[in-house]
């Protein structure tokens, strides 16, 4: 028995954008202790979400990952065969992408293989599926085990390990419809099963319904056993014998009891006839299954068609097998811009983010409003196109809370930043940076375009005064509420002597170009949509946010991502955690926006500031326009 020195993982993927970032992080963490090398072959089986973008990006920066995209949805087992075609390691492990079977079980499978087995399967202990699913699966396992003679405790568990010789024989079998665990039994009897952990799905939903389980049962029954045909023959002989015996009984009773008795047996004959008719239809159905399989084999259509493949083992920027980055690589760089717009965001969102970012070792730039919380007045935007849709998709009442929606209307407006100076100092002590986010957030957001120069100056000066009173030092940077600016607000920033500002969206850092000339306060734009904008535009569901962001990162420049403390600090923290964990697994660097600004200070161009509509917002925002000629 050959020693196992390397393993390949084959992971079929179908609409798993919500699970992939966490899965990638788990693979690196759980397999870090293996003394042997490993590679992962991800097969996108026609996903309609952002799964392929996540896999392609991962394959481009990690030499251990191959991403294969099929032409359509061919099914789980066809996708695994596509992965088998890329496997050359000593052992191959198949694994679902839903994280219900953790990758931490893989070393145990390899240990069992090294004891002399050719195939090691997992059977799921303490299954977390619904009752109906568990019952259907249990009955299918029993029926298939008896019909095929392959005694497996859990046919549905895809966490299995195979020696490469078995995988090669399965690849060469040429069968179109094949259930892999049962097919492996055709080539070896050295099989065993070990108990493995099972967890609930973190995101997405299972694609195996009861009808699909029935279809899988029929496929197994007709693909690996002649028992149904033999049973039909036995049933036919039995029914023929029973029919002749019953016919003799009818004749005898006719002779003994006369014709009147025979007429009374009409309904009995009907009952017997229905039994025969039912048996015939059952026989035709089973014969049809076998004939259909013959038809599929005769056509010799491929199991799958590969649309594209991404694998860059020699590309600059890829990871070495031990997970380290090559010396000439440029890691992903991400900067988080956290807006603290209201009192709820400060009281509940900031502590939540402080804990989350501290746990993951990530630093961020916080922009805090210093002034009254008039959030309730924002309801005037209800008549703007798209505003109601966005509120529904983001579940705004749950995100903001009833009290916040009444501040400034039925309830008095509480102060925001100046109400928690100790918390803000705690942010700075933890390595984060804190800047201004306006005075009256709602008033600025809805009306700065109409503010006079004195009104803009007064607003900035009052916010700056409260900031310095709370933190003990002047504000060094600022971010305009709602990314709303005017020429007056840009000029006042210059008067305040800010180091930089983040008032705009899209693009890279630039110097604002006004009619009077170029300003010296550098702008660091937020490049990607915020989560509420993604949801409001319908570009992804909440479970798909990690994949949406991961697919839009750039390698050539830092990506500034906007975060709202009232969202990601409370109810939407799960996607942010998964996203940051995936970035950690990809060895991404996290920057403060001040670091981004310092890098760009010498090379940033001068650009006009224009108003532009972006997806998911009911109003236009400030964006960089044309560069200075």
pLDDT of residue 267: 46
The tens digit of pLDDT for each residue in 277-309 reads: 666 766 766 676 666 656 555 545 566 677 788
- CA atoms of 93 and 536, how far apart (whole Å): 40
pLDDT of residue 317: 41
Q: Answer with the residue of higher pLDDT: 624 or 17.
A: 624
The tens digit of pLDDT for each residue in 141-170 reads: 666 666 556 666 666 678 899 999 898 888
Which among 170-184, 391-405, 520-534, 615-629 has the top mean pLDDT? 520-534
Provide the 10 A C-beta neighbour count for residue 269: 12
CATH number among 3.90.550.10, 3.20.20.450, 3.30.230.10, 3.40.50.740, domain 6-207 = 3.90.550.10
Total residue length of the chain: 629
DSSP 64: T
Annotated domain spans of the chain: 6-207, 227-299, 333-507+523-605
Q: Compute the half-sphere exposure of residue 33: CA atoms within 13 Å on the CB side of its CA.
A: 9
Token pair of 274, please?
């229905």
pLDDT of residue 73: 87
The answer to whether residue 246 scores a pLDDT higher than 60 is yes
Pairing label, strands 606-612, 621-627: antiparallel
Region 65-78: mean pLDDT is 87
- CA atoms of 504 and 152, how far apart (whole Å): 60
Give the C-alpha distances (Å, rounded to integers) separating 71 from 67, 74, 318, 548.
Answer: 13, 8, 27, 21
Sign of CA dihedral 340, 346, 352, 354: positive
Alpha helix (H) residue ranges in 189-344: 210-224, 227-257, 259-263, 266-299, 343-344
State the Cα angle at 521 between 519 and 525, rounded to 5°. Answer: 110
Percent of the chain residues topping a pLDDT of 70 = 71
Give the residue from 35, 40, 38 showing the smallest Cα distance to 6: 38
- CA atoms of 18 and 545, how far apart (whole Å): 7
The tens digit of pLDDT for each residue in 53-70 reads: 889 888 887 888 999 999
Instruction: Tell me if residue 159 falls in helix, strand or coil.
Output: coil
Q: Compute the half-sphere exposure of residue 314: CA atoms within 13 Å on the CB side of its CA.
A: 0
Instruction: Tell me if residue 30 falls in helix, strand or coil.
Output: helix
pLDDT of residue 509: 96
The residues pairing with 41 across neighbouring beta strands, listed in sequence order, are: 10, 66
Secondary structure element (H or E) that encloses residue 454, with its range = helix 453-471
Helix and strand totals (H; E) in the chain: 25, 20
The answer to whether residue 182 scores a pLDDT higher than 80 is no
Lowest mean pLDDT among 204-218, 296-310, 559-573: 204-218
Residue with tokens 């496997």: 87
Q: What is the CA radius of gyration of the chain?
A: 33
Give the C-alpha distances (Å, rounded to integers) separating 419 from 37, 443, 604.
Answer: 54, 19, 37
pLDDT band for position 124 (cuts 50, 70, 90): confident
Instruction: Tell me if residue 539 falls in helix, strand or coil.
Output: coil
pLDDT of residue 395: 63
Q: Answer with the residue of higher pLDDT: 268 or 610.
A: 610
The answer to whether residue 238 scores a pLDDT higher than 50 is yes
Pairing label, strands 65-70, 160-163: unpaired
Region 520-537: mean pLDDT is 91
Question: Residue 27 in contact with residue 59, Cβ under 8 Å?
Answer: no
The residues pairing with 350 across neighbouring beta strands, listed in sequence order, are: none
pLDDT of residue 148: 56
The answer to whether residue 229 scores a pLDDT higher than 70 is no
CATH superfamily of 333-507+523-605: Glycoside hydrolase/deacetylase (3.20.20.370)
Question: Residue 8 in contact with residue 93, Cβ under 8 Å?
Answer: yes
Region 214-228: mean pLDDT is 58
pLDDT of residue 286: 63
Same fold, 6-207 and 333-507+523-605: no
The answer to whether residue 316 scores a pLDDT higher than 60 is no
The answer to whether residue 171 scores a pLDDT higher than 50 is yes
Give the residue from 477, 453, 474, 456 showing the smallest Cα distance to 465: 474
Question: Residue 205 in contact with residue 128, Cβ under 8 Å?
Answer: no
Sign of CA dihedral 14, 17, 22, 28: positive
pLDDT of residue 314: 43
pLDDT of residue 325: 36
In this structure, what are the phi and psi dihedrals at residue 103, rounded to the nearest 5 degrees? -60, -15
Token pair of 603, please?
């090379």
State the Cα angle at 296 between 294 and 298, rounded to 5°. Answer: 65
Burial class, 357, CB count within 10 angstroms (exposed 0-12 / middle 13-18 / buried 19+): buried
pLDDT of residue 250: 65
pLDDT of residue 320: 39
Which among 285-294, 373-382, 441-450, 465-474 has the top mean pLDDT? 465-474
Q: Where are the beta strands (DSSP E) in 422-539?
A: 433-436, 477-478, 500-501, 511-514, 517-518, 522-523
The mean pLDDT value of the chain amounts to 81
> What is the chain's percent helix, strand, coil content, to nearest 5?
50, 15, 35
Pairing label, strands 160-163, 91-94: antiparallel
pLDDT band for position 433 (cuts 50, 70, 90): very high
């Amino acid at each position: 028995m050959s020693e196992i020195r390397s393993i390949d993982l084959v992971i079929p993927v179908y609409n798993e954008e919500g699970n992939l970032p966490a899965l990638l992080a788990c693979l690196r963490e759980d397999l870090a202790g293996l003394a042997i090398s490993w590679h992962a072959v991800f097969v996108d089986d026609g996903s309609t979400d952002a799964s392929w973008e996540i896999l392609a990006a991962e394959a481009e920066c990690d030499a251990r990952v191959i991403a294969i995209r099929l032409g359509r949805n061919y099914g789980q087992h066809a996708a695994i065969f596509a992965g088998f075609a890329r496997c050359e390691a000593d052992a191959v492990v198949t694994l679902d992408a839903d994280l219900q079977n953790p990758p931490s079980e893989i070393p145990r499978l390899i240990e069992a293989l090294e004891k002399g087995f050719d195939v090691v399967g997992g059977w799921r202990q303490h299954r977390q599926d619904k009752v109906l699913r568990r019952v259907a699966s249990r009955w299918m396992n029993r029926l298939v085990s008896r019909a095929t003679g392959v005694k497996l405790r859990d046919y549905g568990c895809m966490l299995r390990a195979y020696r490469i010789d078995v995988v090669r024989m399965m690849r060469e079998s040429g069968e179109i419809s094949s259930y892999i665990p049962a097919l492996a039994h055709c080539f070896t009897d050295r099989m065993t099963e070990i108990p493995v952990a099972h967890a609930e799905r973190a995101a997405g939903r299972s694609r195996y319904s009861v009808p699909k389980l029935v279809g899988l049962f029929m496929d197994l029954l007709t693909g690996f056993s002649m028992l149904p045909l033999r049973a039909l023959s036995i049933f036919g002989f039995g029914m023929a014998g029973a029919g002749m015996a019953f016919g003799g009984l009818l004749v005898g009773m006719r002779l003994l009891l006369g014709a009147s008795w025979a007429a009374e047996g009409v309904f009995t004959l009907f009952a017997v006839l229905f039994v025969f008719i039912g048996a015939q239809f059952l026989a035709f159905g089973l014969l049809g299954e076998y004939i259909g399989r013959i038809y599929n084999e005769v056509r010799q259509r491929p199991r799958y068609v590969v649309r594209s493949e991404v694998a860059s083992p020699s590309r600059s920027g890829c990871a070495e097998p031990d997970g380290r980055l090559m010396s000439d690589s440029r890691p992903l760089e991400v900067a988080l811009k956290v807006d603290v717009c209201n009192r709820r965001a400060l009281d509940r969102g900031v502590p939540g983010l402080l804990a989350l970012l501290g746990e993951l070792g990530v630093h961020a730039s916080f922009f805090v409003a210093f002034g009254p919380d008039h959030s309730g007045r924002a309801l005037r935007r209800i008549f703007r196109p798209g505003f109601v849709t966005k509120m529904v998709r983001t579940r705004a009442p749950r995100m903001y809370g009833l009290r916040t929606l009444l501040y400034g209307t039925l309830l008095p407006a509480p102060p925001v930043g100046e109400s928690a100076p100790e918390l803000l100092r705690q942010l700075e002590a933890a390595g984060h940076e804190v800047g201004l986010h306006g005075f009256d957030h709602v008033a600025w957001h809805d009306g700065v375009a109409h503010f006079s120069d004195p009104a803009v100056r007064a607003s900035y000066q009052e916010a700056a005064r409260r900031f310095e009173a709370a933190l003990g030092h002047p504000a060094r940077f600022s971010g305009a509420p709602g990314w709303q600016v005017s020429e007056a607000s840009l000029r006042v920033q210059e008067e305040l002597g800010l180091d930089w500002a983040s008032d705009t969206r899209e693009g890279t850092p630039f110097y604002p170009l006004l009619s009077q000339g170029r300003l010296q306060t550098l702008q660091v734009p937020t490049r990607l949509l915020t989560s509420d904008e993604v949801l409001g535009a319908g570009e992804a569901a909440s479970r798909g946010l990690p994949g949406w962001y991961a697919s839009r990162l750039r390698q050539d420049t830092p990506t500034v991502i906007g975060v709202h403390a009232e969202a990601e600090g409370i109810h939407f923290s799960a996607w942010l955690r998964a996203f940051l964990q995936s970035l950690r697994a990809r060895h991404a660097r996290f920057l403060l926006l001040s670091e981004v600004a310092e890098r760009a200070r010498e090379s940033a161009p001068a650009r006009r500031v224009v108003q532009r509509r972006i997806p998911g917002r009911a109003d236009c925002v400030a964006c960089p326009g044309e560069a200075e000629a």
